[in-house]
């Protein structure tokens, strides 16, 4: 993994005397106290991030957590107070205005929550806006703009004006405008937050699709955990101007760094976030099928001793074979049959990456806990009705 | 061009001649007046001085502001004459050009041209209105005067735009500039026009050119203020977006700020135009010709007919110009078309071509 964009010890303090506030921060005085004493607002405090090339990196936090400030520090729409922003190892906090403009024109584009389309230009000119600023001639920039519009499926609206489009279409134009420059880095500041949920999902899919065509580095700002989980390769969580946790969605979900991070998950629809693997329990009883003997009687004995009605049969390499019950075992012992004939055909395993939303009815109708297997048919665990209920009860699951 | 067809040409020739012969007619007069005033204040005041009484503290003037101003203005007049002549020159040249064009052009051509422009800018209704209004102007015998007034107003507004929009842009860009310019605008707008007629006459003389200068002073404020306002009101997210795509200052101004501020700026131009027209009557006091002079003569001679004709002329011009500049503030889409050239006479022409 190549690091595309790196942020090192970045600070932003709003106000007249940032130095004073910086000193107080060094002494460990908190943000509210600094504001009370000096009137300086700490926007971002000691943020360090390394964003890899080609990943969708989501910065998440509640409003006021400094995420929008952080993203603006990345292209210096807001001047950092202290610290470094490295694009391909090059510190952009030190470049002069002209070089900064060149970087903004060629390397880094932004999509805004409010769309920020120019009302006096039509869709095509809006899309070509970045190239127009770079001084590209009309024909070439219109051609590239048309390509970008085609990528977001809006080429037929090239001559419309922004106020004639719906919100979702406007943001597609915003996205196309950012793509026209063919930037390495795409900054998206709550880009889909102003859209209704259906369009939002559609736009997320669109972004992921575009990402699969061209590997761009995307920094996505969001306050919506569902969105972050859905599209993010990695997520950084911000609180009060600080980055409190960085990790993959699973990491953060399973090991939240503090209560603030944990509190995000309270509202999350876990049935979309978790998959079968996440909640499968290994505590159930497994019977190992041996080559030498069928081991029917020992199996039955094991189940009886542990007071279980069902056993999950795997082979020595952990491959799942099937489910047996005490009744089916007794039947085959009586009829002198083999273990494979004791397996109950009705109970089929579910794949490990099935989302919880999709397994609810399977678990509900199954006589026993449902086995989960991975894509190599290896046994992962089982999901019982109780386990499923516990997961769906959000408060208890975190 | 004969002198009869263009009376203003002779007037400006006169002033030119006066300047060349007596290099400073106003300066001389002012300085004698001034020395009188000085001697008054030097010798007269101590004689008049009575005991200071708390009951009548303001019986005597404490600060002789009037004589200070007189001294100041006459000093400027004597020492900066070339400067003011230089200021006058471009105004003079523009005014002469515009005025002679309007007055020399056949009235029917002017009427037709106005009709076409009105049609293009606004629509058929305004075009018909303009034509009818201008024919009325000619019919009531105010054509020549109307054209003179029109030339004065057009020249003034032209200079107001040329001076006002850059000033407005400067105000919008720098809070410090705004802080300095705003009180000056306040003074220009609140000082009664009569007050600065006197120093203007002393500095620039009388006639149409000083009339234009007075009109500029009186009318420039709205276009400056509204340019400033328009640019400051451009939504900050659009400014941010333009910045994020690497716009430099010039691109920001011409590609984002000015286009978005245009309706507001046009409202300022419209207001400037209206103020310019209302200044026409007052400016006639310093021997500015046109409809204002008709009104002034009418008042002087109690000639209600003449005054009314002048008044009606101003109103007709005002309505036509107001409607035309108002429609400048709308873009084509507000009028239901994609592009401005799709309607009006040009639209018709293009349609024929196809």
**CB distance A277 to A380 below 8 Å:** yes
Q: Cβ B244–A161 below 8 Å, yes or no?
A: no
Task: Show residues of chain B in contact with A185, CB under 8 Å.
Answer: none
- Closest residue in B to A127 (Cα–Cα): B245
SS3 content of chain B, % helix, strand, coil (to 5): 80, 0, 20
Measured in angstroms, the CA of A198 and the nearest CA of chain B are apart by 25
Residues in A whose CB is inside 8 Å of some CB of B read 75, 77, 97, 100-105, 109-110, 112, 114, 116-120, 129-130, 132-134, 159, 161, 177, 181, 187
Residues 6+ apart with CB under 8 A from A257: A237, A244, A245
Vertex B197, ends B193 and B202: CA angle to 5°? 160
Least confident residue range of A17-31, B153-167, B207-221: A17-31
Interface test with B, best of A101, A125, A177 (most B CBs within 10 A): A101
In chain B the first and final C-alpha atoms are separated, in Å, by 42
Work out the pLDDT band at B2, boundaries 50, 70, 90: very low
Q: Cβ B255–A77 below 8 Å, yes or no?
A: no
Q: Cβ B244–A110 below 8 Å, yes or no?
A: yes
Measured in angstroms, the CA of A159 and the nearest CA of chain B are apart by 9
Task: Show residues of chain B in contact with A77, CB under 8 Å.
Answer: 240, 243-244
Q: Cβ B256–A118 below 8 Å, yes or no?
A: yes
Q: Which domains does chain B have, with CATH numbers?
A: 75-99+145-318 (1.10.3720.10)
Domain boundaries, chain A: 3-107+183-268, 277-397
Across the beta sheet with A310-314, the strand order is A286-288, A310-314, A320-325
Work out the pLDDT band at B5, boundaries 50, 70, 90: very low
Closest CA to B218 of B160, B266, B175: B160
User: Residue A277: its pLDDT value, please?
Assistant: 78
Vertex B315, ends B313 and B319: CA angle to 5°? 120
Q: Write the CATH number of the domain with boundaries A3-107+183-268.
A: 3.40.50.300
Measured in angstroms, the CA of B104 and the nearest CA of chain A are apart by 40
Interface test with A, best of B230, B240, B241 (most A CBs within 10 A): B241
Q: Cβ A112–B241 below 8 Å, yes or no?
A: yes
Q: Cβ B245–A119 below 8 Å, yes or no?
A: no
Burial class of residue A338 in the structure, from the number of CB atoms within 10 Å of its CB (0-12 exposed, 13-18 middle, 19+ buried) = exposed
- Mean of per-residue pLDDT scores for chain B: 83
Q: Cβ B246–A104 below 8 Å, yes or no?
A: yes
pLDDT by 10s per residue, chain A, length 398: 788 899 999 999 998 888 888 888 888 888 888 888 888 888 898 899 999 998 999 999 888 888 889 999 999 999 999 999 999 988 999 999 999 999 999 999 999 999 999 999 999 999 999 999 999 999 999 999 999 999 888 889 999 999 999 988 999 999 999 999 889 999 999 888 888 888 888 888 888 888 888 888 999 999 888 888 888 899 999 988 889 999 998 888 778 888 888 777 666 666 666 778 777 777 677 777 766 566 778 788 888 887 788 888 888 778 888 888 888 888 888 887 777 778 888 888 888 888 877 888 888 888 888 888 888 888 888 888 887 887 777 544 44
Alpha-carbon distance A272 to B237, whole Å?
34
- Closest residue in B to A103 (Cα–Cα): B246
Measured in angstroms, the CA of B335 and the nearest CA of chain A are apart by 14
Alpha-carbon distance B149 to B145, whole Å?
6
Assigned CATH class of A277-397:
alpha beta
User: Residue B337: its pLDDT value, please?
Assistant: 66
**CB distance A97 to A140 below 8 Å:** no
Interface TM-score (ipTM) > 0.85: no
Burial class of residue A366 in the structure, from the number of CB atoms within 10 Å of its CB (0-12 exposed, 13-18 middle, 19+ buried) = buried
Alpha-carbon distance B268 to B192, whole Å?
21
Measured in angstroms, the CA of B248 and the nearest CA of chain A are apart by 7
Measured in angstroms, the CA of B318 and the nearest CA of chain A are apart by 30
Q: Cβ A132–B248 below 8 Å, yes or no?
A: no
Do A277-397 and A3-107+183-268 have the same topology in CATH? no
In chain A the first and final C-alpha atoms are separated, in Å, by 31
**CB distance A389 to A383 below 8 Å:** no
Average pLDDT estimate for B207-232: 93
Burial class of residue B340 in the structure, from the number of CB atoms within 10 Å of its CB (0-12 exposed, 13-18 middle, 19+ buried) = middle
Q: Number of residue pairs across A and B with CB atoms under 8 Å?
A: 61
Interface test with B, best of A73, A120, A134 (most B CBs within 10 A): A120
Task: Show residues of chain B in contact with A177, CB under 8 Å.
Answer: 245
**CB distance A170 to A117 below 8 Å:** yes
Higher-pLDDT residue of B20 and A29 is A29
User: Residue B13: its pLDDT value, please?
Assistant: 45
Task: Show residues of chain A in contact with B331, CB under 8 Å.
Answer: 120
Interface test with A, best of B244, B251, B264 (most A CBs within 10 A): B244
User: Residue B21: its pLDDT value, please?
Assistant: 42
Work out the pLDDT band at B34, boundaries 50, 70, 90: very low
Work out the pLDDT band at B7, boundaries 50, 70, 90: very low
Region at B235 (left for phi over 0; alpha for psi -120 to 50; beta for the rest): beta
Q: Cβ A77–B244 below 8 Å, yes or no?
A: yes
Q: What is the per-residue pLDDT across B133-151, written as a single tens digit (0 to 9) for each?
A: 999 999 999 999 999 999 9
Q: Cβ A132–B244 below 8 Å, yes or no?
A: no
Which member of A100, A104, A159 has the closest CB to residue B245?
A104
């Amino acid at each position: 993994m190549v690091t595309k964009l790196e942020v090192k010890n970045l600070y932003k303090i709003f106000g007249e005397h940032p130095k004073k506030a910086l000193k107080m921060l060094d002494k460990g005085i908190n943000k509210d106290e600094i504001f009370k004493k000096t009137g300086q607002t700490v926007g971002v405090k000691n943020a360090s991030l390394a964003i890899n090339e080609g990943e969708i990196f989501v910065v998440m936090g509640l409003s006021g957590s400094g995420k929008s400030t952080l993203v603006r520090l990345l292209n210096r729409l807001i001047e950092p107070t202290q610290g470094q922003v490295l694009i391909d190892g090059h510190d952009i906090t030190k470049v002069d205005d002209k070089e900064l403009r060149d970087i903004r024109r060629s390397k880094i584009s932004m999509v805004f929550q409010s769309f920020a389309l120019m009302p006096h230009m039509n869709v095509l000119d809006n899309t070509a806006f970045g190239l127009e600023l770079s001084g590209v001639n009309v024909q070439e920039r219109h051609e590239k703009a048309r390509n970008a519009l085609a990528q977001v499926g809006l080429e037929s609206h090239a001559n419309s004006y922004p106020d004639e489009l719906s919100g979702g279409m406007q943001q597609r134009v915003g996205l196309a405008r950012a793509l026209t420059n063919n930037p390495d880095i795409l900054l998206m500041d709550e880009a889909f937050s102003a859209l209704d949920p259906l369009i939002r999902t559609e736009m997320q899919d669109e972004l992921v699709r575009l990402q699969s065509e061209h590997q761009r580095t995307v920094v996505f700002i969001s306050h919506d955990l569902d969105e972050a989980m859905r599209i993010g390769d990695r997520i950084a969580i911000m609180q009060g101007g600080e980055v409190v946790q960085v990790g993959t969605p699973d990491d953060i979900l399973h090991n939240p760094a503090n209560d603030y991070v944990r509190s995000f998950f309270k509202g999350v629809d876990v049935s979309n976030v978790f998959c079968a693997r996440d909640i499968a329990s290994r505590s159930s009883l497994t019977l190992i099928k041996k080559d030498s003997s069928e081991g029917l009687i020992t199996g039955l004995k094991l189940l009886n001793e542990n007071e279980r009605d069902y056993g999950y049969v795997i082979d020595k390499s952990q491959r799942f074979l099937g489910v047996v019950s005490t009744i089916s075992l007794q039947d085959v012992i009586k009829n002198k049959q083999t273990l494979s004939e004791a397996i109950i055909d009705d109970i089929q395993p579910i794949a490990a990456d099935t989302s919880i939303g999709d397994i609810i009815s399977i678990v509900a109708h199954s006589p026993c806990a449902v086995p989960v297997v991975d894509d190599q048919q290896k046994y992962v665990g089982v999901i019982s009705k109780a386990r499923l209920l516990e997961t769906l009860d959000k408060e208890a699951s975190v | 061009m004969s002198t009869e067809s263009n009376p203003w040409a002779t007037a400006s020739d006169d002033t030119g001649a006066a300047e060349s012969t007596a290099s400073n007619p106003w300066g001389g007069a002012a300085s004698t007046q001034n020395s009188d005033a000085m001697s008054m204040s030097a010798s007269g005041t101590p004689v008049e001085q009575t005991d200071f009484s708390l009951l009548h503290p303001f019986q005597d003037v404490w600060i002789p502001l009037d004589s200070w101003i007189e001294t100041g203005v006459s000093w400027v007049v004597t020492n900066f004459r070339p400067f003011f002549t230089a200021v006058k020159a471009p105004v003079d040249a523009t005014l002469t050009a515009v005025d002679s064009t309007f007055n020399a052009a056949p009235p029917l051509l002017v009427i037709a041209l106005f009709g076409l422009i009105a049609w293009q800018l606004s629509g058929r209704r305004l075009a018909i209105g303009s034509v009818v209004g201008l024919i009325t102007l000619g019919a009531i015998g105010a054509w020549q005067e109307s054209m003179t007034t029109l030339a004065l107003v057009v020249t003034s507004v032209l200079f107001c735009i040329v001076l006002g929009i850059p000033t407005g842009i400067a105000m919008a860009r720098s809070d410090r500039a705004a802080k300095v310019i705003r009180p000056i605008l306040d003074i220009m707008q609140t000082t009664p026009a009569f007050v600065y007629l006197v120093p203007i006459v002393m500095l620039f003389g009388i006639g149409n050119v000083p009339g234009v200068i007075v009109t500029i002073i009186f009318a420039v404020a709205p276009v400056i203020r509204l340019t400033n306002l328009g640019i400051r009101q451009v939504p900050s997210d659009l400014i941010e977006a333009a910045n994020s795509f690497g716009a430099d200052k010039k691109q920001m101004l011409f590609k984002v700020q000015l286009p978005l501020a245009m309706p507001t700026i046009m409202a300022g131009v419209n207001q400037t135009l209206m103020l310019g027209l209302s200044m026409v009557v007052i400016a006639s006091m310093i021997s500015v010709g046109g409809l204002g002079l008709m009104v002034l003569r009418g008042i002087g001679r109690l000639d209600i007919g003449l005054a009314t004709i002048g008044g009606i002329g101003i109103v007709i011009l005002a309505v036509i110009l107001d409607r035309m500049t108002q429609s400048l503030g709308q873009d084509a889409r507000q009028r239901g078309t994609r592009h401005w050239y799709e309607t009006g006479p040009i639209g018709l022409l293009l349609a024929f071509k196809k």
